[in-house]
Amino acid sequence: MDKPMHTPLQQHDAQIADLIKKETARQKDGLEMIPSENHTSDAVLEALGSRLTDKYSEGYPGMRYYGGCEHVDAIETLARDRAKQLFGADHANVQAHSGCAANIAVYVALLDPGDTLMGLKLDHGGHMTHGLKVSVSGMYFNSIQYGCSKDGYIDLDEARALALAHRPKLIVVGGSAYARQYPWAEFRTIADEVGAFLLADMSHVAGLVAGGVHPNPVGIADVVTTTTHKTLRGPRGAIILSNGHPSTPLKRVERATENMPTLIDRAIIPGIQGGPHNHQTAAIAVALNEALQPAFTTYANQVIKNAKTLAEALMEHEYELMTGGTDTHLMLVDLTNKGVTGKQAERALGVSGITVNKNTIPHDPRKPFDPSGIRLGTPALTTRGMKEAEMKLIAGWIDRTISHHENENALKAIRREVEELCVQFPLHRGVYDVC
């Protein structure tokens, strides 16, 4: 009998296999409530683990530096077409390796070193690539940062005043810890007033946009970036969307809205990357196809329903939520009145089998590594098929955990209850037949 060409990972590398099993068990037996995380389908995982990872394909479909790209050309074309269909864009670049790379590519496309960009402060719910001083976006460009008011809403008056004072070449709207709908149109008005390009980073809400429960920035912003995991429920990767019609990707063109596709394509390669990750592109294509199905609209609606139910239940337990609730998949909780820090809450909830992340709140008097708040959301819970009844139950567990955050026996008792719930909602459930 011929010896098999491949051996299972457990036989080939038991250490890695065991660690993967442990991580899978952690997800299976607990509640993933970090709002930037979700559970992919088996189909996405199959594409991600395919032989496509072996193929080099620098360039774009029909214009590669390598031979043997006919099949990856077809895959990338499908991914681009599905992205354009889903979000209503003229052009889609699906090669960015991550959301950070996508944003940096936009800066390379539209800015020169030292130009001024303006984005939301990280500790007010923005992202490090929106101008944080220790990020490339803040080191290589002149970063101006707007924030939120005391109530947690984006301060549009401050943003407009800063834009008028500093005349940025590019304004970024979007973030990672903002619980309300992003004001794309209001920022379009500000950008037009000062002659700036507008970048909408919809990474957190892309799945909600796809499901029709959050306004679409395509057609409002000059360029839109998004990751492909989070609410979109795909693999880790990114997409850059724009309107206009691309010419040859390497051709030098004026920095103008009508030339955005060419500018973006040229910024990705040769600007900041080499070869694309073809297995990632294929998995993105699979996820986009899932998001084009009617069931995904049901899913996105349920994410919002679950988030609103969870927020209301937490407020009934006297938790203070920034902006007083949520319009999206996430909420930001100020724990000051509970006498615990975000770091303490994150640890205790982890022991209870509930994964969240510590997070600053706007105008937080505490440091980022030991902040006043936690950030939590409902995308992964909804993928598993959980609905409003489970959200109310989970709110009770969160309250019990934080109330007994130093009592290890109490936390372990909650964990057993969490595990019993998780048995009823397996990881694979909901990706195909949610709601």
| Residue for token pair 């996405």 | 44
Sheet with 238-242: list strands edge to edge: 91-93, 238-242, 223-227, 197-201, 170-174, 116-120, 142-146
CA distances from 160 to 36, 233, 290, 306 (A): 29, 34, 39, 34
Which are the catalytic amino acids?
A: 56, 58, 201, 227, 230, 236
Q: How far apart, in whole angstroms, are the C-alpha atoms of residue 128 and residue 176?
A: 9
As a whole number of angstroms, the distance between CA 373 and CA 322 comes to 10
CA dist., res. 137 & res. 191, Å (int): 19
- The answer to whether the CB of 179 falls within 8 A of the CB of 321 is yes
Cβ contact 334:372 at 8 Å: yes
51 Cβ neighbours under 8 A, 6+ residues apart = none
What distance in Å separates the CA atoms of residue 35 and residue 397, rounded to the nearest whole number?
Answer: 18
d(CA 65, CA 289) in angstroms, rounded, equals 28
Q: Could you tell me how far CA 262 lies from the centroid of its own chain?
A: 25
CA distance 181 to 175: 11
Distance CA 278, CA 412 (A): 43
Distance, in Å, from the CA atom of 15 to the CA atom of 19, rounded to the nearest integer, reads 6
From the list 190, 74, 150, the residue with the least C-alpha distance to 334 is 150
